[in-house]
Structure 1
Amino acid sequence: MTKNPVLKAFRPLILLFIITTTLFLTSRAKLGQWNFDVDVLMVGNLVLFAATAVSFYLFSRSMGSSNPAAIVRTVYGGVFSKMMICLVTVFIYISIVQKDVNKGGILGCMFLYLVYTTIEVIILMKLSKQKKNV
C-alpha cells in the first residue's frame, strides 16, 4: 500500500490545529483577561484549518501536472482563496455582532492566518521539490 505524500505532509497542519484548539480551551480564562474572545479564536481556527485543507486539496490535484507554472498558480490560488474565505468570515462576524466586535479575537485570527499560510507554503515548496526530484 502506497502512502499519499500530500496527506502525510498535511500532518503538521493537523497538529497545529489540535495544539491551538487545546491551547484555546485550556487558556480560556487567561485569554479572556487579555480581551481575546476564545469563541472567535476557535471559529477562526476552524475556518483557517478548513480553508487550508481546501487549498491542499487543490494542490494535490495539480501535482500530476508537468507544467511548473500550473503548480505555482495552484499554490497562489489556494492562498488567495483562503484569504477570501477569511475575509467573508470576518464580514459575516462583523455583521452579526455589529458593535461588539472583539478586536483581540480578530487580531489573533490574523496571526493564525499568517502561521497557517507560512507552514502551508513551506510544506508545498518541499512537496514540489520532491516531485521535481522524482
Structure 2
Amino acid sequence: MSNNSVSRSFRPLLLLFVITTALFITSRARFARWDVNTDVLIIGNLVLFAATAVSFYLFSRSMGSKNPMAVVRTVYGGVFSKMMICLITVFIYIFIAGKGVNKAGIFGCMFLYLLYTILEVVILMKLSKQKKNV
C-alpha cells in the first residue's frame, strides 16, 4: 500500500472539512436564524478533522502489519479516541460557556462527527480491500 494511495484516500475527508467550513463561514446569518452558533460549528469541525486525521494516520501506519487484528484494533482505537477527544472538547466548551451553551451547535457537531466517522470507515474499508488484493 503506497503512501500516495493513502494520501489520495484522505482527500474526501479534507474536502468534507473545506466544504463544511466554507458553508459555516458563508451562511452565518442563516445559522443565526436557526439559533446555531457558527463559531461552535467551526471549532467543532476543526477538532473533528484533526482527530480524524490522527486516526487515519494511525490506520495507514498499521496497514503494513501482517496481523489483520492489528488493523481492526487500530480502526476501533481510532474511532474510540476520536469519540473521547470530542467528549473532552464538549466538556471544555460547557465549562467555558457556562449557561451560554449553544445546544444546536453541539447537535450540529454530533452530526459532523457522524459524517466524519462514516466517511472514514468507508475509506478505510476500501483501503483494507485494496491491501488484500495487492
Q: Deviations over 1:23-78 (max 9, x none)?
A: 00110000000011000000000000000000011001101001111101100000
| CA drift at 1:4 | 2.0
- Displaced runs of 4+ in structure 1, greater than 4 A? none
Task: Measure the CA separation in 2 of the matches of 1:78 and 1:120.
Answer: 10
Aligned counterpart, 1:47: 47
Give TM-score, length-normalised by structure 2.
0.97
Aligned counterpart, 2:19: 19
Aligned counterpart, 1:104: 104
| CA drift at 1:5 | 1.3
Unmatched 5+ residue regions in structure 1? none
Aligned counterpart, 1:37: 37
SS where residue 66 of structure 2 aligns?
Answer: coil
| CA drift at 1:3 | 5.2
Task: Measure the CA separation in 1 of the matches of 2:124 and 2:4.
Answer: 14
Residue 32 of structure 1 aligns with an amino acid whose one-letter code is A
Task: Measure the CA separation in 2 of the matches of 1:119 and 1:41.
Answer: 18
Query: Aligned pairs, how many?
Result: 133
Pair 1:130-2:93 in alignment = no
Task: Measure the CA separation in 2 of the matches of 1:74 and 1:4.
Answer: 20
Residue 52 of structure 1 aligns with an amino acid whose one-letter code is T
Give TM-score, length-normalised by structure 1.
0.97
Task: Measure the CA separation in 2 of the matches of 1:3 and 1:76.
Answer: 22
Task: Measure the CA separation in 2 of the matches of 1:126 and 1:114.
Answer: 18
SS where residue 13 of structure 2 aligns?
Answer: helix
User: What's the C-alpha RMSD, in Å, of the aligned pairs?
Assistant: 0.8
Aligned counterpart, 1:90: 90
